[in-house]
Structure 1
Amino acid sequence: MTTLRQPAPRTEQPRTLNAVIFDVDGVLLASPHEQAWREALEGFAEPGRFTTAMYQAKVAGKPRLAGARATLDALGVPDAARHVAVYAERKQKRLEELIAAGHVKAYPDALRFVSAMRALGWPIAVASSSKNANGMLQTIRLPSDESLLDVFGANVCGRDLKRGKPDPEIFLLAAGALHIAPAHCVVIEDAPAGIEAARAGAMGALGVARHDDAALLQAAGADLVVTSLDAIAIDALAGGRLSRVAA
């Protein structure tokens, strides 16, 4: 049984921030991952029992097989271990169909935030355990005629990792690819497992609560939780501090 890593003890605002690592699904993109996980349950469990809250708490941010096992266990599917591979394969097939049908959109606030980080000249990386992340990012075209994937200085999406989130491996790889010390990076995540991974890597952790799940992100150890990246004070971030826009 996997033992979840506990969030690192809270410190004051993590040092001076000067780089950003973005998760993909739920942060940059509204993707059909949750829909694919739900629809692939047919024959294993009642799809209607798979809620957004379950997806955020049990599945989001985890590698495919880990997400499949977590879902089947949470739903009490008998002999869950035997069905994990088949369920994961079904989910992947359905996800590819949904992506091909155009069910991927970028969050406008995320695009504005990425643009602001580029204007500051900050190194930015994209880091997702999903092997579909690169393909989805390439479908988003920017006014500059770049794809969204093109704007990142480092990309560690879809890597074969020894350990998935909440282990910090993927974010440490991203920091290394940017040549920035982890303590100077802020990770933007929408899933508790991702926040825990950022904390375990001694990085700043910014939670984006797009699904009325701010409490989960706070409990995971986020330094700050917002419902939109428009709420981040860019002038403060330019000075290395993570804070909310003043009311």
Structure 2
Amino acid sequence: MGSQPSFTQPPQRASFSGFLFDMDGTIIDSTAAIVKHWHRSLIDSLIALSAPWAIVTSGTEPLVSGWLSRLSLAVPRHLVTAESVADGKPDPACYRMGLDKLNLAHRAGDVVVLEDAPAGIEAGKAAGCKVIGLVTSHTVDQVVAAGPDWVVKDLESVRVVGQHDGRVTVEISNALRL
């Protein structure tokens, strides 16, 4: 990209039937002894609306369960982990499995993937989903090159603003001007 990235897009709204979250770098950041979780309110809002959501991660089930417990984060009804699929990201099988678990395989384009890793962004797109790329663990250039539909710094830029006819509307603020 060459110059400093400009996270200045005006807020945009988009509606989705389901949400697939990566874990590390998206819901939490466990790098370099920094453990934080981003915008618990996004997942809490989805739960309050009974919106379909799942975690789709390259992490193992014991690791994911441990982090969710340690940080007192909501445990999803549906979880796809490294043990669930033969091939990891960028193979789209994990996100296709997430779509199946949400009973939304026939509506992949109505589902959004929230992902930080280029391989995961590519997997989400290959599964037919919309993707919000987060610049939490990779450079802006790496995230942009993977081809997400939106690029934001982290989940603080994504919030639920409504629900209608089984679809949840989110507002995406401070997205990167592509």
With normalisation by structure 2, the TM-score equals 0.75
Summarize deviations over 1:131-164 as a string: whole Å, max 9, x none.
12222222222xxxxxx252x1201123242221
- d(CA) in 2 for partners of 1:164 and 1:126? 14
Q: CA deviation at 1:233?
A: 4.7
Gaps of 5+ in 1: 1-14, 36-102, 142-147
- 2:7 aligns with none
Q: CA deviation at 1:232?
A: 2.1
Moved over 3 A (4+): 236-243
Identity of aligned residues (%): 27
Q: CA deviation at 1:212?
A: 6.4
8 Å contact from structure 1 (residues 207, 222) kept in 2: yes
Number of paired residues? 156
State whether structure 2 residue 173 is matched by structure 1 residue 245.
yes
8 Å contact from structure 1 (residues 237, 243) kept in 2: no
- RMSD (CA atoms): 2.6
- d(CA) in 2 for partners of 1:236 and 1:223? 21
Aligned amino acid, residue 191 of structure 1: A
Of residues 102, 109, 123 in structure 1, which corresponds to 2:52?
123
- 1:24 aligns with 23
- d(CA) in 2 for partners of 1:149 and 1:112? 11
Q: CA deviation at 1:31?
A: 1.4
Q: Measured at CA, do residues 246 and 217 of structure 1 come closer, stay the same or move farther in structure 2, by a change above 3 Å? A: closer
**With CA pairs under 8 Å and 6+ residues apart, which has the higher RCO, 1 or 2?**
2
Instruction: Within 5 Å, give how 1:173-212 maps onto structure 2.
Output: 173-181=97-105, 182-211=108-137
- d(CA) in 2 for partners of 1:125 and 1:199? 17
- d(CA) in 1 for partners of 2:168 and 2:143? 22
State whether structure 2 residue 42 is matched by structure 1 residue 113.
yes
8 Å contact from structure 1 (residues 134, 157) kept in 2: no
Summarize deviations over 1:33-76 as a string: whole Å, max 9, x none.
xx5xxxxxxxxxxxxxxxxxxxxxxxxxxxxxxxxxxxxxxxxx
Q: Point out the structure with the larger strand share.
A: 2
- d(CA) in 2 for partners of 1:27 and 1:183? 21
